[in-house]
Amino acid sequence: MKKLCTADQMHHMDQTAMYGKYKIAPVVLMENAGHAVVEKAKDLIISWHNKRVIVFCGKGNNGGDGFVIARHILAEGARVFVYVLGKDASYSTEANYHLQTLYAMAEEGSCVIENYAEGNEDNQQLHQRLKETDIIVDAIVGTGFHGQLHNPATFLVRCINDAAKNGKIKVIAVDIPTGVNTDTGEISGNGEEHTGEPIYADMTVTFGALKRGMQFYPGKKCCGSIVWDPIGMPVSLLRNREQNAAYLLETADIERVLCSRAPDSHKGTHGTIAVVSGSRDMIGAPLMTCRGAMRAGAGKIFLRVPEQTASYCIGKLPEIMVRGIGSGSEFSENDVFQILEEAKKWTVIAIGPGMGKNSKTKTFIQEVIRNTTCPIVIDADALNLIHSEKEFISPYGKRIIMTPHLAEFSRLSGVSIAEVKKDVIEAAKHFVHEWNVTLVLKGAPTVIVSSDAQTVYVNPTGNAGMAAGGMGDVLTGMIAAFAAHDGMPDLCAAACSGVFIHGAAGDYCYNKYGPYGYSPCEVADAIPRVIKALEIAGDTASEDRNLFGMMESI
């Protein structure tokens, strides 16, 4: 997994590298950062040779990286214009050091430097150069950005975005696109026209650690492809676990917790999953949950639905065992006894999909939670029914996984969707502090929080083709199956495995069918292929474990 840092955490990492025990000279770290951009950008632009490039350098250290970039690409044969937004004296020692080198080179005529801080800018000339350029380097503002962009950044960013609209000019962002909040992914101008919009880059080369804001919309949309470079940071700083940590899940993390099946295992080894769900109008939902559980490798699956819906379910999935409970078309408290009689034999319960909104069902859910001891995955209608019951849920939180999408989360937490979106990670952590559960906050991207609220995982898989009814139902079954999986370390690992593999199965369908119309059942049916690809990835020594390539070859 890769660390996802806030601006403060990045600053701390930089400071420790430079002034802690490692004593890396600041000028060297900046040199490494600038050089990393020059090298990594070749994936996009192939070569700097003979390219016309404008490098916009802001007043902080992000601008300092820009000076280094300018020097290196000159050596590679680019024609370079450097716009310097700060005054010499206001730059950090290391940025100024690189700026002076660049001045010396400009004196020899190698490049053109425009001092944009003097107030006598020739914008006519700037527009002309923007028209003629091949590449723009955005070193205006990096992790030091806060609030809304102000001039001259606002003006320059608009000019850059306008010039690049035709798609012929490539925009490369240094560390993070100007105008994207490092911690949250909020953008300057909030996407409104005629405000201080952010840079929309084709590629972002980011340093030391990935930034949280680059994984969340709308910031993610500004980054283009994201390339990471360690810039010579000591490995312990790159890898150490820390307080308030967030991580981006990777193939290797999931492959590590999904142990391969013991050759002498039997159906009892792989868990007994009970899907307790459904109501008259929504009987497809629990069936999709069962399908998710089956494809994720559950040993045995029991579907328990209200009696009046049972005849519809029987035989729909021959692999599962169906029984009608009580006598109605929705669960009620009268049905609890029948469920509890069986529950002792169940490894994990999945509850909620298609359960309806009848208030009698709420008591049923509470009694099932109160009187069982196994892990429970709570989704969909069950979340809506227990929406204000955090005092009831929290004592059982250590064995509960809740899987709300944003609207369900908003109802549960009482925080508006708009407010949650401003900082998804903080909203999710705050929720877990109060509810004590393992949380799967579904969305783009999905965020998983461990029940001690210490660690946040962000999922990189999945695509907008998954925005279709029933996808979440499949995920619920998968998480339940993984929670029962032999050797699964804990509920958080099960939740991460479910979310990652669910998204990867969606990505497989996207590649096969395109973004429209693949179904939740097709996603479920792609799960074994993803798990097989994970096994192959585990056997592959290569660092670059391309899960997707492996799925294609299966």
Ligand X SMILES: NC(=O)C1=CN([C@@H]2O[C@H](COP(=O)(O)OP(=O)(O)OC[C@H]3O[C@@H](n4cnc5c(N)ncnc54)[C@H](O)[C@@H]3O)[C@@H](O)[C@H]2O)[C@@H](O)CC1
Ligand Y SMILES: Nc1ncnc2c1ncn2[C@@H]1O[C@H](COP(=O)(O)OP(=O)(O)O)[C@@H](O)[C@H]1O
The answer to the question of whether 58 is labelled as a binding residue is no
Q: Annotation-wise, does 63 bind a ligand?
A: yes
Alpha helices in 206-283 (DSSP H): 219-223, 235-239, 251-257
Q: What are phi and psi of 346, to 5 degrees?
A: -90, 140
**380 interacts with ligand Y by CB under 6 A:** yes
With CA atoms as reference, report the closest residue to 38 among 140, 189, 139, 142.
139
288-289-295-297 Cα dihedral, nearest 10 degrees: -160
Binding partner at 60 among ligand Y, K ion, ligand X, none, C-beta below 5 to 8 Å by kind: ligand X
Interface with ligand Y includes 111 (CB under 6 A)?
Answer: no
Q: 495: Cβ–Cβ under 8 A, 6 or more apart, which residues?
A: 401, 403, 438, 440, 448, 479, 482, 483
User: Alpha helices of 187-234 — where are they, by DSSP H?
Assistant: 219-223
Per CB under 6 A, 475 contacts ligand Y: yes
> Annotated binding residue at 405?
yes
Q: How many CB atoms lie within 10 A of CB 498?
A: 31
Q: Does 149 bind ligand Y (CB under 6 A)?
A: no
Nearer of residues 14 and 423 to ligand X, judged by Cβ: 14
Q: How far is the CB of 380 from ligand Y (least distance, A)?
A: 6
Give long-range contacts, CB 8 A cutoff, 24+ apart: 107-111.
110/74, 110/80, 111/70, 111/74, 111/80, 111/81, 111/82
**Binding of ligand Y by 527 (CB under 6 A):** no
CB count in 10 Å sphere of residue 34 = 27
* Residue 87 makes contact with ligand X by CB under 6 A: no
Instruction: Identify which range of 56-64, 335-343, 418-426, 468-476 contacts ligand X by CB under 6 A.
Output: 56-64
Residue nearest to ligand Y (CB): 472
**Displacement of CA 100 from its chain's centroid (Å):** 40
147 is in an annotated binding site: yes
Candidate ranges 44-52, 57-65, 361-369, 502-510; the one touching ligand X (CB under 6 A):
57-65
Max Cα distance, the chain (Å): 90
Residue with smaller CB distance to K ion, 142 or 208: 142
Residue 207 binds ligand X, judged by CB under 6 A = yes
230 is in an annotated binding site: no
The one among 405, 429, 485, 545 contacting ligand Y by CB under 6 A: 405
| Candidate segments 138-146, 414-422, 423-431, 508-516, binder of ligand X by CB under 6 A | 138-146
Question: Which residues, at least 6 apart from 293, have a Cβ–Cβ distance to it below 8 Å?
Answer: 273, 275, 301, 350, 477, 478, 480, 481
By CB under 6 A, is residue 144 in contact with ligand X? yes
Pick out the residues of the known binding site.
61-65, 138, 142-148, 175, 178, 285, 354, 405, 442-446, 472-473
Residue ranges that bind K ion, judged by CB under 5 A: 138, 142, 173-174, 178
List interacting residues with ligand Y (CB under 6 A). Answer: 380, 405, 442-444, 446, 462-464, 466-467, 469-473, 475, 502
